[in-house]
Amino acid sequence: MFKVSEIGIFNYKSFRRTGILACSSVLLLFLLGGLVRVTGSGMGCPDWPKCFGLWAPPTCECQLPPNYQDVFLEKRIKKVERFTAVLEKLGFAEKAQKIRSDKTILIPEEFNATKAWIEYINRVFGVLAGLFSLGFFAIAFLGKYAAKIRVYASLGLIMLLVNAWLGSIVVATNLLPGLVSLHFMLSFACVFFFMLALHGAKAFESKTKEPRSKYLWLLLLVLILFEVLLGTFAREMVEFKTSNSTLKSNGMLDFLGMGPSFIFHRFLPALIFAIAAFLAWKYRNEDRFLGKQLATIAVISLIQICFGALNIVFVLPAYSQILHIVVGSLMPVIVFYYLLASNKKGVVL
């Protein structure tokens, strides 16, 4: 008789490959999510998990019943009522009341084939990410892996499932500010837990000679995650100013009217660039491997600054917005990878 952990699909090589697929599929959702956000396709499908009641979006409005807007609006209202009831039970009565009083929830969603298919493709890849994550979770439990690895794989899967549920709430509440940001940030938690599981199996290695490098990466990770969070707030402010036609000023983005969080969002990348560039220069001879890693972060920070400038000067062109979101999403993942690789202890198999 053979043990299930001895089957090839449950060995370390399969574990690592599936873990990388799970992480990569979630990272791909950052690109697709950016496309959804930039094209305004978040409400392309007014229901979830189906799209206009179908498993594949219709190609024209003629495929929908005449009263489809009323039908899906009623479903949305019922879902919002269930969600706000849960919030009240958890002690967030004020937040629940704010959601109920949001008049935009009562606006029926018109069919747009392009937006529906963009949102649908995003959901399809979300399902693929779920399948890869489930496979990673299964291999972690059926193979001979340490308890911590199994815990991290479980937490990553839980974060993905919670985020999928939160995505349905985001749709039901018509892209409610705050929930959209939470939906975005939870994606990082999912990737980080999967990376921790991979690191536990000693998938990441570093050639750095600097024993304190993990503290440098931890500092940069905190700064970058804070910058990403400020970016989600900035995006919500953009949508608010778009709705009341105050987005532009003197032909550019009205960055002065974006609030204090946007001020930090504009200048924090410069601080991150300065820290990474200085440390890269400092370690250029004594630890070339670490110096190159820090130089990579400095270059990415500079690229982000350029995209940010394009967004301000040309008022959020689509290509710049998407690249800004994608590069900004990859930065914390890259730094977290460097952080894990700098900690050589890992978890014993």
253 beta partners: 248
> In angstroms, rounded to a whole number, what is the distance separating the alpha carbons of residues 234 and 312?
12
The predicted pLDDT at position 174 comes to: 67
Mean pLDDT of the chain: 87
Strands 248-249 and 252-253: antiparallel
Q: How confident is the model at residue 36 (pLDDT cuts 50, 70, 90)?
A: confident
Under DSSP, is residue 253 helix (H, G, I), strand (E, B) or coil?
A: strand
Q: What share of the chain is helix, strand, coil (3-state, %, to 5)?
A: 75, 0, 25
The predicted pLDDT at position 3 comes to: 46
Question: Do residues 296 and 269 share a domain?
Answer: yes
Question: Do residues 242 and 199 share a domain?
Answer: no
Number of domains comprising the chain = 2
Mean pLDDT of 4-20: 73
Q: How confident is the model at residue 307 (pLDDT cuts 50, 70, 90)?
A: very high
- Better-scored residue on pLDDT, 205 or 142: 142
Three-state DSSP string of 188-218: HHHHHHHHHHHHHCCCCCCCCCCCCHHHHHH
Question: Do residues 248 and 178 share a domain?
Answer: no
Domain membership of residue 104 as a residue range: 1-203
- Residue 341 above 50 pLDDT? yes
252 beta partners: 249
Mean pLDDT of 126-147: 91
The predicted pLDDT at position 294 comes to: 96
Question: Do residues 169 and 226 share a domain?
Answer: no
- Better-scored residue on pLDDT, 283 or 348: 283
Establish whether the linkage from the previous residue to 317 is cis, with ω within 30° of 0.
no
The predicted pLDDT at position 20 comes to: 93
The predicted pLDDT at position 190 comes to: 95
Residues 6+ apart with CB under 8 A from 20: 198
- Residue 241 above 70 pLDDT? yes
- Better-scored residue on pLDDT, 261 or 170: 261
> Would you give the DSSP letter of residue 48?
S
Q: Which of 247, 25, 220, 238 has its CA nearest to residue 126?
A: 25
Q: pTM for this structure?
A: 0.86
Share of the chain above pLDDT 90, in %: 43
Under DSSP, is residue 252 helix (H, G, I), strand (E, B) or coil?
A: strand
Which run of H or E residues covers position 51?
A: none
Q: 203, 228, 247: which is the final residue of a domain? A: 203
Q: What's the longest Cα–Cα distance across the chain?
A: 76
Question: Do residues 82 and 184 share a domain?
Answer: yes
Q: How confident is the model at residue 344 (pLDDT cuts 50, 70, 90)?
A: low
Q: How many CB atoms lie within 10 A of CB 90?
A: 10
CA distances from residue 307 to 168, 247, 314 in whole angstroms, order as listed: 30, 18, 10
Question: Do residues 183 and 213 share a domain?
Answer: no
248 beta partners: 253
Q: How confident is the model at residue 9 (pLDDT cuts 50, 70, 90)?
A: low
Question: Do residues 20 and 161 share a domain?
Answer: yes
Q: Which of 296, 230, 311 has its CA nearest to residue 268?
A: 230
Under DSSP, is residue 249 helix (H, G, I), strand (E, B) or coil?
A: strand
Query: How many Å separate Cα 249 from the centre of its chain?
Result: 30
The predicted pLDDT at position 1 comes to: 37
> In angstroms, rounded to a whole number, what is the distance separating the alpha carbons of residues 108 and 181?
23
- Residue 188 above 90 pLDDT? yes
Q: 171, 203, 235: which is the final residue of a domain? A: 203
Q: How confident is the model at residue 345 (pLDDT cuts 50, 70, 90)?
A: low
- Least confident segment among 45-54, 207-216, 251-260: 207-216
Question: Do residues 186 and 284 share a domain?
Answer: no
Question: Do residues 215 and 143 share a domain?
Answer: no
Q: 203, 227, 253: which is the final residue of a domain? A: 203
- Residue 5 above 50 pLDDT? no
Q: Which of 159, 120, 106 has its CA nearest to residue 42?
A: 120
Residues 6+ apart with CB under 8 A from 17: none
Question: Do residues 114 and 134 share a domain?
Answer: yes
Question: Do residues 194 and 231 share a domain?
Answer: no
Q: Is 112 left (phi over 0), alpha (psi -120 to 50) or beta?
A: beta
Q: How many CB atoms lie within 10 A of CB 228?
A: 19
For 59-113, the pLDDT digits (tens) are 998 888 888 888 888 888 888 888 888 888 888 888 888 888 877 778 887 899 9
The structure tokens 């820290």 sit at 275
249 beta partners: 252
The predicted pLDDT at position 37 comes to: 80
Question: Do residues 198 and 229 share a domain?
Answer: no
